[in-house]
Structure 1
Amino acid sequence: MATAVKVGEDAKSHLEELQAEIRLRTGTSVTQQELLSRLIDDAYESRDDIVDSFRESTVPLSEAEKEAMAAGRFSSGVETDEEDIDEILYG
Structure 2
Amino acid sequence: MSTAVKMDEEAKAELEALQAEIKLKTGKKVTQQEILSQLIRSVTDDRSTFIDSFRDGEVALNEAAIEQFNKGQISSGVETDETDIDEILYG
Q: TM-score, normalised by structure 2?
A: 0.63
Pair 1:39-2:39 in alignment: yes
Residues 1-91 of structure 1: pairs in structure 2 closer than 5 A: 1-59=1-59, 75=81
1:59 CA displacement: 4.7
Is there any run of 5+ residues in structure 2 with no aligned partner, and where? 61-79, 83-91
Identity, % of aligned positions: 52
Aligned residues: 63
What residue identity is the alignment partner of 2:51? V
1:20 CA displacement: 0.2
Moved over 4 A (4+): none
Is there any run of 5+ residues in structure 1 with no aligned partner, and where? 61-73, 77-91
Q: TM-score, normalised by structure 1?
A: 0.63
Alpha-carbon RMSD across the aligned residues, in angstroms, is 2.1
Between the aligned partners of 1:52 and 1:32, the Cα distance in structure 2 is 25
